Chains A and B, each alone.
Chain A
Amino acid sequence: MRFLRRGALSLCVVLVAVSIGCNRDDSVRIGVIGSGGSFAAVQEELRKGATLAAEGLNRRKAPGDSSLEIEYRTAANASELRTRVGQLVRAGVSAIVMTENLVEAGGSRDPAREAGVPVLTIGDSSRRSGNKAGVFRLGPGSEKQAAALANWLTATRGITDVSIAAGSGDAWSGSGIGLMTSALESKGTRVASTVRLSEGIDYLQPAQALQAAGAQAVIVWAGPAESARLVNAIRTIGWDVQLAGPGLLMHPSFRSLTGRNSDGFVAAGPTLAEEKWMGPDLRDWFLDYHDRFTLLPIEEQRTLVAAFPLAAVRSFDAVSIVAEAVRAGKSDDPRKVGEALRRIDAYEGLLGKYDLRTKGGAEETGAPRVGRFLNLAVVYDVEAGADLTRASAFYKTQVSAFYVPQRYLDTAEGQKLTERVLEDVLTNPETVEFFTQYTAPRPPPGPV
């Protein structure tokens, strides 16, 4: 496993360096905050990815060297966030890993910024992020995602009228309307209507309101659970409209809650090539993740498509990057760690190459990829000039679980999965959809 070899090498240097430069105690501490609201679905993934990184590094440390500790906190809302960040700063963490909406919520009184503690965001990032503010985004920012969606809807699908539905909860959801409106209008696309969803109501009402506005597409900018409710409502009323949303909806819980209603939903996700998805580094990582935390197919659905915890991978990368910065800065002092982070120009993580020198923050190279869901799989065939042979192969690889190594199948969960599928095949063959044929997107204009 290449990344583990790299990790092991990194660790040795990190911990030797820190044993020289450490000024508090024997541990290097990294804070991790799992947030509520739209990002609640990834909360646990954040912790697990960070834990896996720390455990891997600690396993390989030399005797006497410092170990890595994860200080994990959760925050249900913005005010809790400020409290948690303050707690972590006081606990002496070298850096904090969290989701972007907490950065937004930090506002002018950001304890991390005041103390010079660098923050790495694993999810979407807003325009307020940036390395100069000590905030390093590790994925395509919300602005970029909005721009990618607007461009795809307009240029690729020829859609001229778009409605926007934003989630009810946090600042991140609310920002969706502004970000998408701005991105769409820059392309000359009309915003037919905007809806701010409201928890607790019947989502058929906003679905019907959106339909009445006559848009050709609906942007759903909310957390997975809330988005799923709206998508299910839209499909329930029989509205065959193009649906699209941010990369957060790549989270498997969205497909778990929508099932085949997710077919044709387009999301602007991470810049992750198919070779990377299916490559040995990630495959090995997912096996390690499974051994530690269990990795299953998307829940509540008859599918072999795995519930890949991409947020956990990002969190793993974030912790690994901080460790690399500690090594480079020869200190776990947060300000020195921050300085070292700003110098990282080509860290090879699981999800891509990270360049933290960029003005807007750290990003893996390339623009967000726009993909659709088909039979619960992610398919990259909706962009102009897409290679359908490659796209269909990617689809089939996911739905047939061709990539799953025997090592997984030999685990208890793998055996259960085998038995579940076999039972389904034996007793409900007419409804087996695991191996449903690939179908190319419908030609534009209109929904895929």
Chain B
Amino acid sequence: MHRRRASAGILLLVVLVAAWSGVAPAATPQPQMTVAAHSLSSLSTVASGLSAAEPPIRIGMLSVFDFAADWMKNGGQMAADDINAAGGINGRRVELLFETDSALGNQGVKNMLNAGVDVLVGPEVFTATQQNTAAIKQRKLINLLPLSPVGEIADLNNPYVYRLVPYDRIQAEALVHHLVDVKRLRRIAVLYEDDFLGKPGAGLVRDQLKFRGLTPVKSLSFNRGDTDMSTQVAALKGSKPDAVIVWSLAREAAHVALAAKSLKLGAVLAVPIEAAVGEYVELAGDAAEGTISVLPHKTINNWAPPGSWRANWFARYHRRFTINAYKGTKVPNLPIAQAVVYDSLMMYAEAARRAGSTDGDAVRRELDKGEPFAMVTHDFAFSAGNHETYSKEDLWAFRLDRGAATFAEDPRADVQKEREAWQLFALGLLFDRKKGVALIPYSIGTFPAPGPVRVVDLRWRVHGVQFLTHVDAGHFGLPPRTPKGKYAVVDLEVTNLSSAARKAPWVFAVDQASSLYIPDAPATAGLWIAGGPEANFFMFQPLPAGATVRGPVVFDVSKEATELQVGVPNDFIFSDYAMVSVKPA
């Protein structure tokens, strides 16, 4: 039976550094720029109504790897369109300048500086930022890093550079803390990609182990692009590790996971977030199961509930670019990296609006005020002394289970709640069963009860809600069903306006604290049982064309819930949905 309280709901994980997850990078960095400064391509759109006389604000979008370039393109385009549609920045439209510099970005930054961009987004390789920090500072160029996890911004001593994702030191701290302090594992091995990403990551892991009086039982490396990791894994196995921390990009980490499974390594695999998502799941398949990583603890419950603009952002993205499910799973490969790119532009636009200027100092003063910028992936708030978004405490451990992450792994978690969240995510809530791809629902709005709401060919209304302490079936001495919180019984009426029969649809609810609930089937069944022979189980009641049904749906909501938003998607799996706000009489 599906769970009473789905309070956790969908794991719309805000996987902040999913950026690295996908495609293998180019095999050999090119020594030359692939695009000269004068031939930078402009992909911007111009919204009508913007001043043609004012020059556009030029935003440089710089990447090193092909997959990162794709994320930059999608996230950036979506942001630019939204900014321009909303009147631009201080009346000026924005224009995007894209460049990919596979030679680790150093020349790319220079090209962007030469092109005179007003703001720079990227690249994902921190050395490019380090090598050009003086020029960036001298130009007072706001440089936002949505995909760069290496190094520390503070070391740059550059007031114009901001990072929007967790960085490697806090990831190393959180991973080692979880493995050693929480799981009490002592024999830790390190396997890393021998490059700008893996080497410093492995070094940070060693530091964290040393801090705890430990040294790696084995430390080995591989090259970016390697696919056969059996030699390294076999050597690791000989050292009998409890856990292996693999610091690399996703594809290489997946090959490590495959070798570990093949050779029966028998150790926990732990990776930074850039290795744990995207292609890692697809390539490693079952071998990815049980992998541990760390993320900001953001789920649909505490971050992006149905009906929220954040949830709708993903729905809009899906409609524009299509979100796929991981191969062989029902888990959507959420565009988190693209969302952080989007956030970079939107945050800059908002700061420039607040400043009334695009001057670098004016914009950074707004960014440094500490007033939150509410964006898709985070409420960003910086200070003059801290241009990092996250701290170690923000990161929670999660485990991959059937391709989806579960925060039940973290000792701070409400295990039941996280498990329910994982269940919904892994078992197909965001999966289009007909097309076999991911499907992100779109909310068309929240309306007051008890007015009718129509979504496509479904008309429904909420007649009311009442809170109960228990549900009694009233037969055979069966004990009443009792909630963890309290029962909310929603009196729902649904009309099938289509010309075909269907079943009454799925229903969900969100309380004022953004907790998502799916129906409590056993409690709803209690009312069904007590209702006598004629009573139907509302949600699965056959609904002929033109027919109307009315019945109760029970949710196990938190004790603090005072009002609910009830949602009824037109399709059982959400295509579009509306919500109705209702309070008990």
Chain A interfacial positions (CB closer than 8 Å to B): 274-275, 277-280, 304, 388-394, 396-397, 400-404, 409, 415, 417-419, 421-423, 425-430, 432, 434-438, 440
Contact = CB atoms under 8 A, between A and B. Distances in A.
B478 A402 contact: yes
A201 B433 CA distance: 41
Contact of B1 (A274, A393, A417, A427): A417
B427 interface: yes
Contacts of A396: 525, 528-529, 537
B522 A404 contact: yes
Contacts of A419: 423, 427
A397 B529 contact: yes
B31 interface: no
B475 interface: yes
A435 B532 CA distance: 14
Nearest to A396: B529
Contacts of B64: none
A390 B530 CA distance: 10
Given A279-B477, A393-B476, A423-B427, A429 B506 contact: yes
A392 B573 contact: no
B473 A393 contact: yes
A230 B284 CA distance: 47
Contact of A394 (B475, B572, B573): B475
Given A278-B477, A403-B478, A422-B423, A429 B521 contact: no
Interface in B538-585: 539-542, 572-573
B573 A400 contact: no
Contacts of B573: 426-427, 429
A301 to B, nearest CB: 15
Contact of B476 (A279, A400, A418, A432): A279
B1 A404 contact: yes
Contacts of A277: 476
Interface residues of B, number: 40
B3 A432 contact: no
If over half of A's interface residues share one DSSP class (helix, strand or loop), that class is named, otherwise mixed; here it is helix
Interface in B449-475: 473-475
Contacts of A393: 473-476, 529-530, 532
B533 A418 contact: no
A435 B427 CA distance: 20
A429 B533 contact: no
Contacts of B210: none
Interface string B423-461: 110011101010000000000000000000000000000
A274 B540 CA distance: 26
Contacts of B429: 426
Query: Which of A275, A389, A390 has the most C-beta atoms of chain B within 10 angstroms of its own C-beta?
Result: A389
Given A278-B478, A426-B573, A400 B431 contact: no
A426 B521 contact: no
A410 to B, nearest CB: 9
A400 B476 CA distance: 15
Contacts of B433: 426-428
B420 to A, nearest CB: 9
Contacts of B330: 423, 427
A400 B522 contact: yes
A391 B532 CA distance: 9
B481 interface: yes
Contact of A389 (B424, B431, B506, B533): B533
B2 A430 contact: no
Interface in B304-359: 330
26 contacts: A392-B532, A392-B533, A393-B530, A393-B532, A394-B475, A396-B537, A397-B478, A400-B525, A400-B537, A402-B478, A403-B478, A404-B522, A422-B423, A422-B424, A426-B424, A426-B427, A426-B428, A426-B431, A427-B330, A428-B433, A429-B572, A432-B503, A434-B1, A437-B542, A438-B533, A440-B533
